[in-house]
C-alpha cells in the first residue's frame, strides 16, 4: 500500500478527515498530501466552508421558525385523555 493518498482519495476521505474520523496513520498521510498539494488544500477548505455554511443556514432557519408548540401540546393532551396513563391516574 502506498503511503500518500492520491488527490482522488483525498476527496473521498475529506469528509471523514474534517469529522476527525480517520485513523491516526491515515490522518497523517492525508496531512502529508495537503502539505504538497494546493488543489487538495483548496478542496478541503471548500468542504469545511460548505459545512459551516449549512450550519449558518440552519441557525437562520431555526431562529425564524416558531412552530406552534402550544398547538402540539393541545393535540397531545387530547390524545392522552383517550389513552390510559401508566399509573392509572391523571396527574395534571
Kindly list the residues in this chain that would bind another protein in the complex (CB under 8 A). 6-9, 11-12, 15-16, 19, 21, 39-40, 42-43, 46-47, 49-58, 61-62, 65, 67, 69, 72-73, 75-77, 79-80, 83, 85-87, 89-92
Phi, psi (deg, nearest 5) at residue 39: -70, -40
State which residue, 31 or 77, has the beta carbon closest to another protein: 77
Measure Cα distances from 91 to 10, 28, 75 in Å: 58, 58, 17
What is the smallest separation between the CB atom of 25 and another protein, expressed in angstroms?
Answer: 18
Instruction: Dig out the grid coordinates for 39 from the structure.
Output: 488543489
What is the smallest separation between the CB atom of 82 and another protein, expressed in angstroms?
Answer: 10
Amino acid at each position: 500500500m502506498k503511503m500518500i493518498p492520491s488527490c482522488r482519495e483525498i476527496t473521498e476521505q475529506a469528509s471523514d478527515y474534517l469529522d476527525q474520523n480517520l485513523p491516526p496513520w491515515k490522518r497523517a498521510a492525508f496531512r502529508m498530501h495537503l502539505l504538497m498539494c494546493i488543489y487538495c488544500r483548496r478542496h478541503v477548505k471548500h468542504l469545511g466552508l460548505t459545512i459551516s455554511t449549512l450550519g449558518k443556514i440552519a441557525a437562520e432557519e431555526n431562529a425564524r421558525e416558531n412552530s406552534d408548540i402550544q398547538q402540539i401540546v393541545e393535540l397531545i393532551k387530547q390524545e392522552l385523555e383517550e389513552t390510559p396513563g401508566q399509573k392509572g391516574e391523571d396527574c395534571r
